[in-house]
Amino acid sequence: MSQVFEGYERQYCELSANLSKKITSAGLLDGEQKKQKVSEIKGGLEDADGLIRKMDLEARSLTPNAKATLLAKLREYKTDLNNLKAGVKRITSANANQAARDELLESGMADTMMASADQRTRLLMSTERLNQSTERIRESRKTMLETEELGVSILQDLHQQRQSLLHAHNTLHGVDDNISRSKKILTNMSRRMSRNKWIIGTIITVLVMAIILILYFKLTH
């Protein structure tokens, strides 16, 4: 529910209750006191009309669901305001006398004020239920946002873990490359050592044969 509408609503309920009391007390007065009281009441009714118009404008600026709910409440407030205006007309009637005033206070006015009080009670109860529903919606939205934040955090952690795994994979791949190069180097070294062994063996064999030939020639001559 709109907080602006709630503010106007509280002001109207307080003003309506105050006007209801003033109308009841004005019906018991006479002369100048009654005129002053009626003047105060009419000023209050103008303020109430202003609040009704403000609530109407605020309700129509909201979403369709919220607007429908608030306009339904607003119709009840308009009915309550019309009852207050009717009460003022009755106590300001030029043909009214003390007996009619007493009868009005005992019957019609009492019924009207009771109906208005019942309406205000129902409206306040409806307002309380709407406030509770709004609070539940806020809590649900808060939970949803917290869940969304948790999901984002988990995705970030998973992304970091993926980056770490990719880095480890690249590192292992680099190690494999180094091992492959080392293996090739060792293989080449082994081949060179084998070749060198054959060369040295051949040289030694040639030297031995040369020594044998030299000794043979010396011994024979």
At residue 144 the predicted structure's pLDDT band, cuts being 50, 70 and 90, is confident
Domain 1-103 class, CATH top level = mainly alpha
Query: Is residue 204 within 8 Å of 196, Cβ to Cβ?
Result: no
**Mean predicted lDDT score pLDDT of the chain:** 83
Q: What is the mean pLDDT of residues 201-206?
A: 89
CA distance 42 to 88: 8
Query: Is residue 23 within 8 Å of 105, Cβ to Cβ?
Result: no
Q: What is the pLDDT of residue 111?
A: 60
Half-sphere exposure of 37 (CA within 13 A, CB side): 20
56-65, 75-84, 212-221: which range is least confident on average? 212-221
Q: What is the mean pLDDT of residues 61-67?
A: 89
The overall longest dimension of the chain from CA atoms, in Å, is 179
Q: What is the mean pLDDT of residues 58-80?
A: 92
The CA–CA distances, whole Å, from 97 to 27, 34, 93, 100 equal 11, 13, 9, 5
> Which residue in 45, 47, 24, 48 sits closest to 34, CA to CA?
24
Domain boundaries defined on the chain: 1-103
Residues in CB range of 27: below 8 A, 6 or more apart? 90, 91, 101, 104, 105, 109
70-117 residue pLDDT tens: 999 999 999 999 999 999 999 887 435 554 555 545 565 556 566 676
CA distance 123 to 94: 34
At residue 129 the predicted structure's pLDDT band, cuts being 50, 70 and 90, is confident
